[in-house]
A and B are shown apart, each in its own frame.
Chain A
Amino acid sequence: MSASSMAPDDTHREETMTTFLTRRAALLAAATCAATLGLVGAAYAQNSIKIGYAISRTGPNTGGAAVTTIPNYELWVKEVNAAGGIKLGDKRVPIEVVQYDDRSNAEEAVRALERLINQDKVDFILPPWGTGLNLAVGPTLNREGYPHLAATAVTDRAPELAKRWPNSFWLLGTSADAAKTLVELLTKLRDEKKIGDTVAMVSIADGFGIDLSSAARPAITAAKFKLAYDKSYPIGTQDLAPIVNEVKALNPDVFIAFSYPPDTLALTEQARIAGLNPKVFYTGVGTAFPLYKQKFGKNIEGVMGIGGWSGDSPAIKDYLARHKASAANGAEPDRWASAVTYASLQMLQQAIERVGKVDRAAVIKDLQTGSFDTVIGKVKLENNMPTRYWWVGQWQDGEFYGVAPSKNEGARAAIVPKPAWVAP
């Protein structure tokens, strides 16, 4: 700014300058005060609840996050805001979302979380997709006292982690449990003389496959099944025909694959082409995906996979319809972790509403002790973990029903043997 514009008269220049400076200082002070007041005001009045998340929009986790997590976060925020927001005391406040891309990278996820906490000052944080990233962000969320509702993590360390980080909730259970339930189902089927005792197992050489196969191996042999084939394949394998052909030559009663979505699709396709049609055909992550149903059409009948849900429950049917209406291209949810993810958001909302204010410690306490009405039924956590999971699902009449544990409400009887593959 030139002097002439400040003071048209040179004699008054000095004075004007002082006035200007003082005025500026005063303005600055006023602005600072206003800002401080504003902040304080916001903290007390709470006109919105700021919810942040960093999710894999790029990188190898994108496929999973785009199917299971992102549509549910969006659906929930949309629905809550349409209803006026989250109830705090006697008024409702809308949700304000801050989100980042964690690029499927653990360091990036932690950095994004730190930014959400320190810069954006969000009230609550929703977790990332996948076991690895949930383990990575655990320490940060614990240190900062944010509830951590891990809805897409399967880890055997869940009970231990829940103790170490009391703010963390492991809603998808442990892989040992998953393997044990599968073997229990197989044992029951053998007792009913529906299957023989040869099992072929393949697994992907990555976190999920290693965990599940090393839990299943001893369980299978302890249950006196013959493990005729037990191999793993590296992530990104582009042709699974050799595996399927070799398994077919062994003619097992049961085929188990602890696989990731691309291999789940490839194994199923190859099995159909090679005519591998065992009495029990079980594949891993991706079996419950809408893409699986879309790709294989009638051939999904009788295929078992990890996960499942109570397909006949009105709450699930309603959730499925709302998800289809909300998601891009009318996409359906994945029939396992999607519903659990949505339920975790309902739990968070109910806990916040019961506490009645943004008090994270109280919300964590409520999550630990309260019981919640969700799309997957009533949930009450014990030691920060649910008491009920779906571990084996089966496609029956176009729906992926939970079949084990069979004591779960809504469990269907497994269709065994699996019907033969049909031409598409």
Chain B
Amino acid sequence: MTNAILTGLMLGGMYALVAMGLTLQYGVARIMNLSYGEFLIAAAFASHWLFTGWAISPFVGLVLVVPLAFGLNYAIYKVLLTPLVRRAPNRDALEVDSILATFGLTFVIQGAMLAMFGGAYYSYSFLAFPVQFLGETVAANRLAALGITILLGLSLYLALTRTRAGTAVRAVAVDPFAAQLVAINVPQASAITFALGGALVAAAGVLVSTFLTFSASSGVVFTMKALIVVVMGGVGNMMGCLVAGLALGLSEALVASYVDPGLTLAVNFALFLAVLLVKPAGLFGRATR
């Protein structure tokens, strides 16, 4: 039982980590980023390249890749998405526009990765040894990823709830017009939040690449998973994201261990549906309309 729970927590932690960036981008900056998974894979490739080509550990890779991703996403928001934000008459229109724009971006990023790395599968071994944890044998790389996820999640949660900037970001998430009235620079806050989401997904990509096999075309899987977690947890809610991710991971591991591994997807979607039926705005979401 301990083992199944531990496995579930590690898997759930990964889901939460993968979804954290999207909840910022979608919940606060109101950009439904369909190329989200591609950014994750791009970071995974960067980490792979640093590790196999330069023997740079993925933990050091995090320090290099994450700020780079922040800058890149900031630029993307400023250049590609700001015109959409200006033009959109309301939030719903922005959502539709951003879906179209980032859908196009998906092909650009995927094409670039295919050109650079080809379509083959990539995988490398990092911290791929067993460790004893709570009396169970688990993979060190997954445990490390869980640890970093908790660390990232907690610091982000604290930053959002305990700092002025974080409060401003949350204000933008709730109502960008009202936020403007209290002298919050909404465009700037949105840009930074979007970039922060991009930095988080890059961190997820680096960590995921230490234990999952990936290829240039596997981004969409992560976009889908992140979307489910974000919607289930309540759009824009960091705590919801963590809880929903862990719930999905736990349910998958428990079902795989005690019922049948073939039912993991079914249970995933059943849980998702159940949450939406009971709380249409997600676990921690507030109905705004």
Contacts and interface: CB of A to CB of B under 8 A. Distances in A.
Given A233-B261, A291-B121, A242 B4 contact: yes
**Chain B binding site: helix, strand, loop or mixed by DSSP?**
mixed
A269 B211 contact: yes
Interface of A: 56-60, 62-63, 65-67, 70, 104, 202, 205, 231-234, 236-239, 241-243, 245-246, 261-262, 265-266, 269-270, 272-275, 286, 289, 291, 295-296, 328, 331, 423-424
Given A232-B261, A245-B7, A246-B257, 11 more contacts: A58-B110, A62-B216, A62-B217, A67-B121, A234-B265, A239-B249, A242-B261, A243-B256, A269-B128, A291-B122, A295-B125
B118 A328 contact: yes
Nearest to A59: B217
Contacts of B264: 233-234, 237
Contacts of B221: 236
Q: Which of A205, A238, A261, A270 has the most CB of B within 10 A?
A: A238
B95 interface: no
Interface of B: 3-4, 7, 10-11, 14, 110-111, 114, 118-125, 128-130, 137-139, 211-218, 221, 249, 252-253, 256-257, 260-262, 264-265
Contact of A242 (B120, B129, B137, B253): B253
B139 A270 contact: yes
B3 A245 contact: yes
Contacts of B130: 272-275
Contacts of B256: 233, 239, 242-243
A231 B215 contact: no
Given A242-B256, A274-B137, A63 B261 contact: no
Given A233-B261, A241-B7, A261 B121 contact: yes
A255 B257 CA distance: 17
Contacts of A205: 262
A409 to B, nearest CB: 31
B213 A261 contact: yes
8 contacts: A58-B119, A66-B215, A104-B217, A237-B261, A239-B10, A242-B4, A266-B212, A269-B211
Contacts of A104: 217
A116 to B, nearest CB: 21
Given A272-B128, A273-B137, A423-B129, A66 B119 contact: yes
A262 B212 contact: yes
Contact of B124 (A60, A286, A295): A295
Contacts of B211: 269
B4 A289 contact: no
A273 B260 contact: no
B217 A273 contact: no
Contacts of A59: 217
B261 A291 contact: no
Contacts of B265: 234, 236
Nearest to A266: B213
Contacts of A231: 260-262
A331 B117 CA distance: 12
Contacts of B214: 262
A205 B221 CA distance: 17
Contacts of A70: 119
A261 B125 CA distance: 16
Contacts of B114: 57-58, 62
Nearest to B254: A242
Contacts of B217: 58-60, 62-63, 104
Pairs of residues from A and B, 8 with the lowest C-beta to C-beta distance, nearest first: A62-B119, A66-B119, A242-B256, A262-B213, A233-B261, A66-B120, A242-B257, A234-B265
A239 B257 contact: no
A56 B217 CA distance: 11
Contacts of B249: 239
B253 A424 contact: no
Contacts of B137: 273-275
A202 B261 CA distance: 9
A239 B252 contact: yes
Nearest to B225: A238
Nearest to B122: A291
A291 B120 contact: yes
Contacts of B110: 58
Nearest to B18: A238
A266 B119 CA distance: 19
B217 to A, nearest CB: 5
A63 B212 contact: no
Contacts of A67: 120-121
A241 B254 CA distance: 11
Contacts of A289: 121
Residue of B14, B122, B139, B261 with most partner-chain A CB within 10 A: B261
B246 to A, nearest CB: 13
B262 A233 contact: yes
A358 B252 CA distance: 56
Contact of B119 (A57, A243, A269, A270): A57
A62 B261 contact: no
A239 B11 contact: yes
Nearest to B124: A295
A423 B3 CA distance: 22
Contacts of A66: 118-120, 215
A424 B14 contact: no
Nearest to A245: B3
Given A205-B262, A232-B262, A62 B139 contact: no
